[in-house]
Structures are given as structure tokens and as C-alpha cells.
């Protein structure tokens, strides 16, 4: 694998700082909430035109249309070698339409704020400028497959199979999600989402309580069982975040349900939770407990292959005086899908900043230049 002068690339990128900032501002001023297909389409059209402007017409493009979610766009860029490097970047955000009206994009010194800049619009800007810097320096890069999806913030229900296809034959997968306090992400928890539904038997709570089988009582027992399954030492957290049930206070409840979020660090814990969910039973034989759901994203465990890509990134960062840390996080991303396929994945290669999904969301402009240079070094390492 090739080694490049990352310090020289950083100097080159620093000369285009204003253009990088202008690109991010223009992108962030296109609102792209996950639940607004019209705005998503407009945002994706902007991104596709901008990528072509910065990197030229791609060798091929495939747009996968969705009736419910944002479309998925896959752009192929020619390069040196046979195996592609897959770059993942979602263009949807958690911010509702109209957010820009009272929270416009602003720049204050090194700090750039605005909805979606940290999660994860700056990451895509950095990825594109990393490739542009390599080309401007006359340095080779491998064939690149850039996948842009518009449903990541809601679990990637449409894009998941397309992401898996785009990653299956990749030499490695780089995910331009935001960094975690400056660290890249080499492990992510798996995420399970369930609705636990309980059917009971209604009766009059005063006249004939014994004739009823309370769904709420059963659900309360289930909630205790689920919360008792939390194991901090194993990295497992089970949270019942929503409960509903019953009709009136003087009626023994005939139905109840709970929304459950599960985070696990290992596949062994994933199997344990699967067994727990499958084994949920009602205390009263007249009642019935039914868990509905499953794993939204598989576990991303730190494998030797992931460690190897991290080593490349750390070596690239060291050339510019940055001690690039790694971390494991509880949140999931599309990188989880690639890791489950056994692909080498480096996640969190995007923005340096803070405030994902919060009103103080911001990125460091210096960090954009720095991480674009690091990304360029990693990308170039896969050129043959």
C-alpha cells in the first residue's frame, strides 16, 4: 500500500479552506430532514451537481428511487487498482423543515454552526476535498464508490441492502460520520428495537376484578425483566422508553405495549437478548406477551481488519502532528452493516466538533482541513 506526504496535502487543502467552508455552507443551507422527500430530493440534486463540479463526471451513477424515503445515489469514480474503496455518507438530518429560519448557518472564527453540519454534512465535504487534493497533487487513488443515502437517521430501512451490496466487495469502507471528541470509531454497539405487546382480559375493576387479566400488570413484570437484563460490564443496555395501556382506571386493562431500545457491544450479548425476547411469557395464563421487532443494526466489533485500517489513519494523522485516538460508541451507523459483512471499516472519519442532534451542533474549520488530509492519506494507501 502506498504512503503519501500528508503534511503536503494538508498544506494544499489549507489553501482551499474558504472553498471548503463555502461548500459546507451551501450544502447546509439545503434542509434535508429524513421525513421530507421533496427536500431530500432537492438536497441530493445539489450534492450530485456539486460532486460533479469538484471531481468531474463520475464513471457511472445509479440512483435507487424510494417511494417513502430519500433516494440512494451511488457514484463510481475511476482509480488505480481493481478493488474499490467504498465511502458512505448520508445526506438526511434529524432537523425538521424550517429549522434554518431561526437557526441559520453561522461562522464564528473556527466554529461553523448550523443544522446537520456535524452530523454529517461536513464529513461529505471533507471526503470530496480529500479526493480532490489527491488528484491535484498528481497522486493516485483506488476506484471509489460513493454511496449517499437519505434514511440513515431513521435506521436506513430502504438503503440497508444497497449499502451491503456497495460494501460487499470493497477493499475497505470509510464512513464519514462525525468524530467522537476527535476520535475515530472502531467499534459501535448493535441496536435492537422491539415493541412488546400484551393482550389481557378486561373486566370491571370494582365488581369483578378476578375475571380480568391485567395487561398492565403483565407489562410491568416484562419491564422489570427487560431492565434487569442490562449489563454495563458487558456493554449491554436495555431501555423501555415508552409504555401505553388500558382504557379507564376502573377497567382491568385488556391491552398494553412498550417500546424497547437495546444496545449491545458483542454478538454474544446480541444472542442473549434474542433468547430473552423469545422467552418472554405472561404470568397469568389468560394473558399473552408478544415481542415484535429485532436488530436494526448489527454489532460493529473491533476486528483485526478494522484495527489495520485504523493504523493507516493513525499513521497518516501522525504526519501532521495529530495523535488520532480511537473509541467505541453506543450509537450505530451504516458502518455497522459493512462490519457485519466482515469488511475493514473506519468510522467517524468526518467532522471534528460536537452537538449531534442538538442546537449547539458545530464543526471546527481547522478540523475539516485536518481530517480531509488524513482521509486523503488513508484513501491513497489503497491505491495500487
Domain boundary among 256, 275, 297: 297
Is residue 150 included in any domain, yes or no? yes
Q: How confident is the model at residue 2 (pLDDT cuts 50, 70, 90)?
A: low
pLDDT tens digits along 4-41? 999 999 999 999 999 999 999 999 999 999 999 999 99
Q: Could you give phi then psi for residue 240, rounded to 5 degrees?
A: -90, 105
Q: Which helix H or strand E contains 173, and what residues bound it?
A: strand 172-175
Separation of alpha carbons 316 and 196, rounded Å: 47
Secondary structure letter of residue 33 according to DSSP: B
Judge contact between 130 and 365, C-beta under 8 A: no
Domain boundary among 282, 297, 312: 297
In this predicted structure, what is the pLDDT of residue 365? Answer: 98
Domain boundary among 275, 297, 319: 297
Q: 324 and 289, same structural domain?
A: no
Is residue 1 included in any domain, yes or no? no
Q: 144 and 107, same structural domain?
A: yes
Calculate the average pLDDT of the chain.
Answer: 97
Q: How confident is the model at residue 1 (pLDDT cuts 50, 70, 90)?
A: very low
Judge contact between 311 and 381, C-beta under 8 A: no
Q: 195 and 238, same structural domain?
A: yes
In this predicted structure, what is the pLDDT of residue 206? Answer: 98
pLDDT tens digits along 220-259? 999 999 999 999 999 999 999 999 999 999 999 999 999 9
What does the block give as the cell for 57? 463526471
- Full domain range(s) for residue 241: 190-297
Q: 87 and 195, same structural domain?
A: no
In this predicted structure, what is the pLDDT of residue 68? Answer: 97
- Which CATH number is 262's domain given? 3.30.70.360
- Which CATH number is 103's domain given? 3.40.630.10
Is residue 17 included in any domain, yes or no? yes
| Contacts of the segment 223-226: beta carbons below 8 A, 24+ positions apart | 223/258, 225/276, 225/280, 226/196, 226/258, 226/260, 226/276
pLDDT tens digits along 301-321? 999 999 999 999 999 999 999
Q: How confident is the model at residue 384 (pLDDT cuts 50, 70, 90)?
A: confident
Amino acid at each position: 500500500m502506498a504512503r503519501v506526504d500528508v503534511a503536503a496535502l494538508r498544506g494544499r487543502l489549507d489553501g482551499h479552506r474558504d472553498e471548503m467552508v463555502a461548500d459546507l455552507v451551501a450544502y447546509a443551507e439545503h434542509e434535508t430532514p429524513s421525513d421530507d422527500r421533496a427536500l431530500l430530493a432537492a438536497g441530493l440534486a445539489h450534492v450530485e451537481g456539486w460532486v460533479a463540479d469538484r471531481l468531474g463526471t463520475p464513471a457511472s451513477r445509479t440512483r435507487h428511487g424510494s417511494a417513502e424515503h430519500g433516494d440512494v445515489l451511488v457514484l463510481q469514480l475511476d482509480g488505480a487498482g481493481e478493488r474499490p474503496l467504498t465511502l458512505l455518507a448520508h445526506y438526511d438530518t434529524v432537523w425538521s423543515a424550517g429549522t434554518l429560519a431561526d437557526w441559520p448557518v453561522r461562522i464564528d472564527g473556527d466554529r461553523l454552526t448550523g443544522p446537520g453540519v456535524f452530523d454529517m454534512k461536513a464529513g461529505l465535504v471533507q471526503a470530496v476535498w480529500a479526493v480532490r487534493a489527491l488528484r491535484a497533487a498528481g497522486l493516485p487513488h483506488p476506484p471509489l464508490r460513493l454511496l449517499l443515502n437519505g434514511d440513515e437517521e431513521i435506521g436506513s430501512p430502504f438503503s440497508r441492502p444497497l449499502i451491503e451490496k456497495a460494501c460487499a466487495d470493497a477493499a475497505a469502507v470509510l464512513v464519514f460520520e462525525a468524530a467522537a471528541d476527535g476520535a475515530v470509531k472502531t467499534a459501535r454497539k448493535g441496536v435492537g428495537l422491539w415493541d412488546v405487546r400484551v393482550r389481557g382480559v378486561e373486566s370491571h375493576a370494582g365488581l369483578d376484578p378476578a375475571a380480568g387479566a391485567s395487561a398492565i400488570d403483565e407489562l410491568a413484570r416484562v419491564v422489570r425483566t427487560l431492565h434487569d437484563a442490562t449489563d454495563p460490564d458487558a456493554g449491554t443496555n436495555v431501555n423501555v422508553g415508552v409504555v401505553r395501556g388500558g382504557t379507564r382506571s376502573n377497567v382491568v386493562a385488556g391491552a398494553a405495549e412498550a417500546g424497547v431500545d437495546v444496545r449491545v457491544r458483542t454478538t454474544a450479548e446480541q444472542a442473549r437478548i434474542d433468547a430473552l425476547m423469545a422467552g418472554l411469557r405472561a404470568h397469568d395464563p389468560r394473558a399473552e406477551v408478544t415481542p415484535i421487532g429485532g436488530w436494526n443494526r448489527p454489532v460493529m466489533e473491533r476486528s483485526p481488519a478494522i484495527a489495520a485500517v485504523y493504523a493507516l489513519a493513525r499513521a497518516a494523522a501522525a504526519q501532521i502532528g495529530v495523535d488520532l485516538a480511537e473509541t467505541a460508541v453506543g450509537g450505530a451507523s451504516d458502518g455497522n452493516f459493512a462490519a457485519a459483512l466482515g469488511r475493514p471499516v473506519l468510522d467517524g472519519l468526518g467532522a471534528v466538533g460536537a452537538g449531534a442532534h442538538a442546537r449547539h451542533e458545530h464543526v471546527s474549520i481547522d478540523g475539516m482541513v485536518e481530517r480531509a488530509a488524513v482521509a486523503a492519506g488513508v484513501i491513497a494507501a489503497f491505491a495500487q
